[in-house]
Amino acid sequence: MTPLEEQGKAAKLAARSLACAGTGAKNAALNAIAQALRNHTGEILTANSRDLAAAAEGGMSESMQDRLRLTPERIAAMAEGVEQVAALPDPVGAAVSETVRPNGLRISRRRVPLGVIGMIYEARPNVTVDAAALCLKAGNAVILRGGREAFRSNQALTEIMRRAIAATGLDENAVSLVQDTSRDSARELMHLTAYLDVLIPRGGRGLIRAVAASATVPVIRTGEGVCHTYVDDSADLAMACDIAYNAKCSRPSVCNAMECLLVHRGVAGRFLPMVKARLDEKAVELRGDERVQEILGSCVVPAAEEDWDTEYGDYILAVKVVDSLDEAIDFCNAHGTGHSEAIVTDSYARAQRFLNEVDAAAVYVNASTRFTDGGEFGLGAEIGISTQKLHARGPMGLGELTSTKFVVCGNGQVR
């Protein structure tokens, strides 16, 4: 049996006991984790500083280093996030529906844990804590496989959480970290069907597509974010500038950041210089089509075909002038990843068409795509943004980390 199989076996046993744990026991473990994160902030920062030094030496981009970086404030926010998960209603055991059949059978559907969840993700140590907290509250064990660039941070966080879980009497194997960060461990995890019930990749398009193409474990695709904002010719252009700036610049490395700006030809001449002036505050590189280049000049990098499908995760923005709402809708559906799409318009009819015809997990009217987040939607913490349609779509909170079972009670009925 390989080390990962041993880990899977231990996680499966932990999941069985965790599924029977009461809400109080799970909340006690979560609150213990939150306090442990605060108590061991120095230990976490030391591990993270080693990861950051290696990342800088290896030439990692600033935006990716921002994903990797932990600070006392970010650790405090992680601890607070765990406490918020503890305060959320426990989905396990909740009745989804209940009915009594003519023959007297009482049939209900109740929420149950998924079982053992595998997570493959990249340079974001906060995912380690978020995933562990959400999985634990929903009664699942989790096997975490972070990227090599964050291994020291993830290892410190996982050991702190395991000790806190054990101290409250639950099985510490409810949370574990894959110690091998090679591609071999990722491939093995993708095929660990004897122990994993579901696999959730979280990261860039390359990672997500590789996992979805190779895994034999069921996969929930999350986080692939080529998001668009379309500025209609009826839009309030000042508001459109604010929305575009926020969607691109507030945190360009995250999956709900805008990667492509579409502008109606009727306002392109006025709007593009306005929005460029705002984006220049963050030195955003614009990659535009011919009409964008005609309006803004040589400062625009000519867009290649692949720019329309690229998730930059950086201060780079693809920009295109479109002739109509129809073209904007078609473009979003052709080049988006089903994550988040926005229209800025004063036309109710056009807004409704955009909402109805654009195929994405979240569709916005006159607001930034940056709101696609479990906390912003009032769902609490999330394990990712699902861009698929089966099981879950959009921010995945506690409810989406459960399945259902039918519970049938009778008094001697036979068929």
Report pLDDT for 209.
84
Report pLDDT for 44.
98
Band of pLDDT at residue 300, cut at 50, 70 and 90: very high
Residue 382 has pLDDT above 90, yes or no: no
- CA distances from residue 222 to 191, 203, 259 in whole angstroms, order as listed: 19, 8, 17
Residue 284 has pLDDT above 80, yes or no: yes
Q: Which residues have CB under 8 Å from 60's CB, separation 6+?
A: 68, 123, 149
Residue 223 has pLDDT above 90, yes or no: no
Residue 246 has pLDDT above 90, yes or no: yes
Question: Which pLDDT tens digit goes with each residue over 389-407?
Answer: 888 899 998 999 999 999 9
Residue 204 has pLDDT above 80, yes or no: no
Average pLDDT of the chain to the nearest whole number: 95
Band of pLDDT at residue 378, cut at 50, 70 and 90: confident
Report pLDDT for 95.
93
Which of 28-32, 49-53, 209-213, 327-331 shows the lowest per-residue confidence on average (mean pLDDT)?
209-213
Band of pLDDT at residue 224, cut at 50, 70 and 90: confident
Distance CA 30, CA 82 (A): 6
Question: Which pLDDT tens digit goes with each residue over 181-193?
Answer: 888 999 999 999 9
Position of tokens 């965790």?
18
Strand, helix or coil for residue 36: helix
pTM > 0.95: yes or no: no
Neighbour-count burial of 344, counting CB atoms closer than 10 A to its CB (0-12 exposed, 13-18 middle, 19+ buried): buried
Report pLDDT for 27.
98
Band of pLDDT at residue 237, cut at 50, 70 and 90: very high
Strand, helix or coil for residue 160: helix
Report pLDDT for 139.
97
Report pLDDT for 338.
94
255-266 average pLDDT score: 97
Report pLDDT for 400.
93
Report pLDDT for 83.
95
Report pLDDT for 202.
85
Report pLDDT for 207.
82
Report pLDDT for 105.
97
Question: Which pLDDT tens digit goes with each residue over 104-146?
Answer: 999 999 999 999 999 998 878 999 999 999 999 999 999 999 9
Planar angle of CA 15, 17, 20, nearest 5 degrees:
105
Distance CA 112, CA 139 (A): 8
Beta 385-386 vs 301-302: how paired, if at all?
A: unpaired
Report pLDDT for 206.
80
How many secondary structure helices (H) and strands (E) does the chain include? 14, 16
